[in-house]
Structure 1
Amino acid sequence: MVDQCESVGANCLKVYYEQLVLHPEAQMRRITEFLDVPWDDRVLHHEQLIGKDISLSKRRKEFRSSCEASESGCSE
C-alpha cells in the first residue's frame, strides 16, 4: 500500500496510526486540509454523532482511486 501511495505522489496522504492517536486534532486537520474539507470540531467527537441524522456537504467532489490516478495502474 505504501508503494501505491508513493506512486501517485501528491494525490496520496500517508497517515500514521501512532501520530493519529497521539495528536488527533493535528492529524485530522492535516487530513481534512488534504481532502479540501472544511474543518469542523465535531470531527474530534465523532462518537457523539453515532445514530444521529447528519447532513453531508452539498458540495460534490470527484475522487479517483489511487489505481486510476497512477500511471501504471494497480496490478493484482
Structure 2
Amino acid sequence: MNKIVREHYPIEKLPEDLREGMEGPYVQVIVTTEPPASKHKPLTYAEIRARVKPRGTTTEEAVARIRELRDEWGD
C-alpha cells in the first residue's frame, strides 16, 4: 500500500465535489493506493496436496530405516 501526503494543497486544485464544505485556501490531502486484487484465489490444502508428487517411501518404510540406522549406532 502506498500513501501520498500533500500538506497546504490549494483547494482550487481539488475537483468540485471534494471542495464542498471546506474553508480556507489550503487543505491536507492524503491519497492511499491499494494493490490490485489478486486474480488467483489461494489454494486449499487439498489442492496443494494434489500438486505434491508422491515421495515413494511410506511412513512405515521411513520408520524402519531410521530404526536400522539407530540400531547400528547402539552397539
Q: TM-score range by the shorter chain?
A: under 0.3
Which of the pair has the greater relative contact order for Cα pairs under 8 Å at 6+ separation?
1
Structure 2 length normalisation: TM-score?
0.20
Structure 1 length normalisation: TM-score?
0.20
User: Of Structure 1 and Structure 2, which has the larger fraction of its residues in strand?
Assistant: 2
User: Of Structure 1 and Structure 2, which has the larger fraction of its residues in helix?
Assistant: 1
